[in-house]
Amino acid sequence: MAVTSDRPGAEQTAGSALDLGWLRESSAAWGMRAEPSRVGLTLRDIARGPYGDVPDHPPRRTMAPRGADIPDDVPDMGYTVNEKAEVWSDNIMELYEEAVSRQWSATRDIPWGQLAPLDPDLEHAMCQLATVLSEVEMVAADFPAKWLWRINHDFVEAKMFLCTQAMDEARHTEVFRKRALANGGGLGKATTVVEQFLKTILDAESYDEGSALMHLLGEGVVLSLFRAGEMIAPSEVEKRIFRLCMQDEARHVSYGTMHLRYRLQRDPTLAEDFHAYLDRGEELMGVLLTTPEVVEPATILAAGSVDAAVAMGSAASDVLRMQTIEEYLQRCERAGLDRRGRMRLPAAVIAGTSGVKTVAPEASVTVEGAS
């Protein structure tokens, strides 16, 4: 007796050792083809019919692929992020595609062979900047990693994007660690205030809070620094590093901005919660933006020397700081959160009254092997 099915190949004679339930009972969208677009078969191309329907509130907490036939007795995976708006953004599929297509190698794609000895103070400044960046980059891998297993699998595209972010940040940590060690300088000083900010992100009680602090505020500041980095880089090696990191960081910040926008559009009552997260984050960021180990290396690189940085006073760092704050405020606006009347960044930071006034000891010490 033949098994009946409207699927080609579903026929099977009676008495077979095969069960074939999977073949006969599937309700999948059989016959629906996904057409590759110009660049290939993208996530957007396959987000069709029932496969493209991402539920706002998934009925299950399972790793079963969205759109598959799922038995009723699948185990509950214990996900705690089960609302689409908690993690989604309208550009999440495109961000994932870009992330995969633009991976680069800190080993091969940086012209390390072109590194030449620098003025010792500039080498020291570059090494301190690389130290700070190497310190902060990995939190943007640890934070997504902490939350990934809690996120409902029906939001798989968001999870996939966060996986690419973790890889990006591993590479950023790698490239700045390599830069610190590559030219005779070495690692500089870690700081307690940086660690406190990172801990605040890791300890966030919700993905909402952590994402606002990290994707929007923290990574936004890093993105502004990378953008400025191209300008202040002492050689083509650092220019290339900053340029490549910047394209990754722009994705992470784009996710943070568009995700918050998506979140607030669906629930505007959350605005006050996000304001409160950013109130606290900005207070910490204000301290960071006046911390010598964080600010002065970039100031010295921008000025060209310690003496020039001292002569310029706060002017060199003010430009970067004001630009960083303005870009952050514009991102908040795009996300639907007006922070201009509420920003907690200290007045001294906004006014730029806390630039380089003294020469940090580590910035004036000759670096062995760097000259």
Under rule CB under 5 A, residue 135 binds Fe ion: no
Site residues (CB under 5 A) for Fe ion, limited to 105-134? none
Task: Find the shortest distance in angstroms from Cβ 219 to Fe ion.
Answer: 5
What is the spatial distance between Cα 262 and Cα 184, in angstroms, rounded to a whole number? 47
Could you say which of 97, 121, 123, 137 contacts Fe ion (CB under 5 A)?
137
Which of 137/296 has CB closer to Fe ion?
Answer: 137
Alpha-carbon separation of residue 38 from 41, 42, 45, 99, 314 (angstroms): 8, 9, 10, 17, 50
Under rule CB under 5 A, residue 209 binds Fe ion: no
Under rule CB under 5 A, residue 140 binds Fe ion: yes
Three-class SS of 152-204: CHHHHHHHHHHHHHHHHHHHHHHHHHHHHHHCCCCCCCCCHHHHHHHHHHHCC
What is the spatial distance between Cα 171 and Cα 246, in angstroms, rounded to a whole number? 12
What is the spatial distance between Cα 100 and Cα 298, in angstroms, rounded to a whole number? 31
Which of 278/316 has CB closer to Fe ion?
Answer: 278
Task: Find the shortest distance in angstroms from Cβ 321 to Fe ion.
Answer: 20
Per CB under 5 A, the segment of 65-73, 77-85, 184-192, 211-219 that binds Fe ion is 211-219
As given in the structure block, the two tokens for residue 191 are 């700081």
Which of 60/215 has CB closer to Fe ion?
Answer: 215
Which of 172/179 has CB closer to Fe ion?
Answer: 172
Task: Find the shortest distance in angstroms from Cβ 251 to Fe ion.
Answer: 8
Which of 251/321 has CB closer to Fe ion?
Answer: 251
Under rule CB under 5 A, residue 219 binds Fe ion: yes
Q: How many residues bind Fe ion (CB under 5 A)?
A: 7
Site residues (CB under 5 A) for Fe ion, limited to 221-280? 249, 252
Which of 87/140 has CB closer to Fe ion?
Answer: 140
Please give the residue whose beta carbon sits closest to Fe ion in the complex: 252
Which of 285/309 has CB closer to Fe ion?
Answer: 285
Q: Could you tell me where the beta strands, DSSP code E, fall in 27-97?
A: none
Task: Find the shortest distance in angstroms from Cβ 247 to Fe ion.
Answer: 11
Pair 233, 297: CB distance under 8 Å: no
SS3 of the chain: helix, strand, coil, percent, to 5: 60, 0, 40
Task: Find the shortest distance in angstroms from Cβ 134 to Fe ion.
Answer: 10
Under rule CB under 5 A, residue 296 binds Fe ion: no
Alpha-carbon separation of residue 92 from 88, 119, 120, 144 (angstroms): 7, 44, 44, 15
Site residues (CB under 5 A) for Fe ion, limited to 165-184? 169, 172
**What is the chain's Cα-based Rg?**
25
Task: Find the shortest distance in angstroms from Cβ 168 to Fe ion.
Answer: 6
Which of 135/169 has CB closer to Fe ion?
Answer: 169
Q: How large is the greatest C-alpha to C-alpha distance in the chain, in angstroms?
A: 93
Residue 320 amino acid letter: L
Nearest to 214 by CA among 228, 193, 198, 226: 198
**Which residue ranges make up the site for Fe ion (CB under 5 A)?**
137, 140, 169, 172, 219, 249, 252
